[in-house]
Amino acid sequence: MKPDTTSSAIALLTRLVAFDTTSHKSNRDLVSFVESYLADHGVASHLVPTEDGEKASLFATIGPEGVPGIGLSGHTDVVPTVPADWTSDPYLVREEAGRLYGRGTTDMKGYLACVLALVPEFKRRTLKVPIHILFSYDEETGCTGVRPMIAELGDRLTKPRLVFVGEPTNMTVVDAHKGPMRWRVDVTGRAAHSSMAPIGVNAIAIAAELIAELNRIEHDLKTATRDDRFTPPYATLQVTEISGGTASNIVPAACHFGFEIRALAGLDVEATERRLATFAETRFLGDMQRVAPEAGISIRRVNSVPPFAAGPSSEAVALALKLAQQNETYAVSYATEAGLFQTADVPAVVCGPGDIAQAHTADEWIAISEIERCLAFLGRLADWAET
């Protein structure tokens, strides 16, 4: 790719990183910048805002309108920073030794910058297959922001023929990943003086028994569905948070905990949920409510990102391999929005600049060489879309 395109991508990345789009904050300033940038190049944007207007996804098309094309998808949000852990300002891109440091440089504003840097080139071409730009919000908190935009594909927004999700893969082609499923379990007991424990219901003790059952489920998951392309090659289950109790001399009336499964494609997650619910009901609920009728156990799924498996005949994978000039695909254990596109009948593949090992870290960085590789990939996409 031309040196001036690389310079443009770095300049755009600097602008994008300067917007603090940590997931709990608004992304509207960044979206407004992108909207204005695209308008300057004669490209109209369509926004999919949240109800309160604090956040928005952006959809734009370069090339023939109303024609299914190639979607370039990325998220605008980043994870929080602890500035004291950084050796420079997280929101001011610093270049050193061929690296660009800053929050989101790898995950995944580097990709967004590459897509935007290619807009003038996409506009210059006579594209027969359009390029769609899909920038979302709140990927880091459960891929929630892209869902309303996906819901409008085929309606107000043109449904892409296929989508490239530009999460960091070192520009290798990823055709499968695990899917995180998360639950919250609330145990409601009854408080009592700890010297009179039998008249209370100890919510922490019951939560501990439920967690023990989850440990047994985790053991079983290791043999339920295996795929040696992943590390580890099985679905994982972790209890990720717990809280309960008020004082050392009070039988705890409440306890809640969260757990997560990183599922492989084909895992019956509903069966796992039913197993825990049956265990809770048959082993504890009756005894709890004989002491305290108000006692109960609630098991609620709070987020679900489907696992992704493109399949051997995927047009998205075939095109990505061609553009990346590779002949091998990979599977990863982290999640992306690709599974949601696939579920919506939009073939997807994951391929983007940067190393996932740098994501979410202090002094996050992306190599300039990765920016150049991504720009070259997108340049070949322009060639393909024009022919």
Q: 305-342: string of b/e by CB count within 10 Å (b at 16+)? A: bbbbbbeeebebbbbbbebbeeeebbbbebbbbbbbbb
Q: What is the pLDDT of residue 307?
A: 95
How many Å separate Cα 37 from the centre of its chain? Answer: 25
The catalytically annotated residue of 139, 140, 167, 372 is 139
The interaxial angle of helices 368-386 and 110-117, nearest 10 deg, is 40
- Across 206-215, average pLDDT: 98
As given in the structure block, the two tokens for residue 181 are 């499923």
Q: Is pLDDT of 2 > 70?
A: no
The 10s digit of each residue's pLDDT in 146-190 is 999 999 999 999 999 999 999 999 999 999 999 999 999 999 999
pLDDT above 90 covers what percent of the chain? 97
Rounded to whole angstroms, how far apart are CA atoms 296 and 366?
49
Rounded to whole angstroms, how far apart are CA atoms 152 and 146?
10
Helix H or strand E segment including 223? helix 203-224
Torsion region of 377: left, alpha or beta (phi above 0 gives left; psi -120 to 50 gives alpha) = alpha
Q: What is the pLDDT of residue 1?
A: 60
The catalytically annotated residue of 35, 77, 140, 370 is 77
The 10s digit of each residue's pLDDT in 287-333 is 999 999 999 999 999 999 999 999 889 999 999 999 999 999 999 99
- Across 34-62, average pLDDT: 98
Active site residue 139: yes
* Among the listed residues 354, 305, 361, the one whose alpha carbon sits nearest the alpha carbon of residue 334: 305
Contact (CB, 8 A) for 306 and 343: yes
Active site residue 20: no
pLDDT above 70 covers what percent of the chain? 99
Confidence of residue 24 (pLDDT cuts 50, 70, 90): very high
- Taking the C-alpha atoms of 313, 315, 316 and 317 in order, what is their torsion angle to the nearest 10 degrees? 40
Number of helices (H) and strands (E) in the chain: give both, helices first. Answer: 11, 18
Name the residue with higher pLDDT: 1 or 160. 160
* Among the listed residues 186, 183, 198, the one whose alpha carbon sits nearest the alpha carbon of residue 280: 186
- Taking the C-alpha atoms of 86, 90, 94 and 98 in order, what is their torsion angle to the nearest 10 degrees? 70
Average pLDDT score over the chain: 97
Q: Give the amino acid at 117.
A: A
Phi, psi (rounded to 5 degrees) for 27: -110, 10
The 10s digit of each residue's pLDDT in 103-127 is 999 999 999 999 999 999 999 999 9
Q: 45-75: string of b/e by CB count within 10 Å (b at 16+)? A: bbbbebeeeebbbbbbbbbeeeebbbbbbbb
Contact (CB, 8 A) for 30 and 76: yes
* Among the listed residues 120, 91, 242, 105, the one whose alpha carbon sits nearest the alpha carbon of residue 168: 105
Residues facing residue 184 across a β-bridge: 258, 300
Confidence of residue 224 (pLDDT cuts 50, 70, 90): confident
Q: What is the pLDDT of residue 387?
A: 85
Exposure of 312 in the CB half-sphere (CA atoms within 13 A)? 0
Rounded to whole angstroms, how far apart are CA atoms 228 and 219?
17
